[in-house]
């Protein structure tokens, strides 16, 4: 599911417009990114947690496609670029 599909699914569930749903999702993503950038942990019970941590460098990849990359804006914010 990509962002557009997420917006469609949430808008159809809530009955809100796609424009307001897009704004809400953007606000959520900005809040999570800002919190993680400050070193905080964001815990969404029943969904997952977002946090930073010190680990040895490694190359991550998707076994089925051979690819893995975080979104550029999120990666730059977390890495302080």
59/44 Cα distance (integer angstroms): 27
Assigned domain for 24 exists:
yes
How many CB atoms lie under 10 A from the CB of residue 46? 5
74 in a structural domain: no
pLDDT in tens, 37-64: 999 999 999 999 999 887 787 776 767 7
- 66 within some domain: no
Task: Tell me which residue range forms the domain holding 37.
Answer: 1-51
First to last CA, the chain: 28
**Per the structure, how many domains does the chain have?**
1
Residue 28 lies in a domain: yes
Q: Does the predicted model carry a pTM greater than 0.75? A: no
- Classify residue 10: in a domain, yes or no: yes
Instruction: State yes or no: pLDDT of 71 exceeds 90.
Output: no
By the 8 A CB rule, do 49 and 41 touch? Answer: yes
Q: Band the pLDDT of 69: cuts 50, 70, 90.
A: low
Tokens of 10: 């949430």
């Amino acid at each position: 599911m990509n962002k557009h599909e997420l917006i469609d699914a949430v808008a159809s569930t809530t009955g809100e417009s796609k424009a307001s749903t897009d704004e809400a999702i953007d606000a959520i993503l900005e809040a999570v990114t800002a919190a993680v950038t400050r070193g905080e942990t964001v815990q969404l019970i029943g969904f997952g947690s977002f946090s930073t941590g010190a680990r040895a460098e490694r190359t991550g990849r998707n076994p089925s496609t051979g690819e893995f990359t975080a979104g550029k804006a999120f990666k730059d914010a977390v890495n302080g670029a």
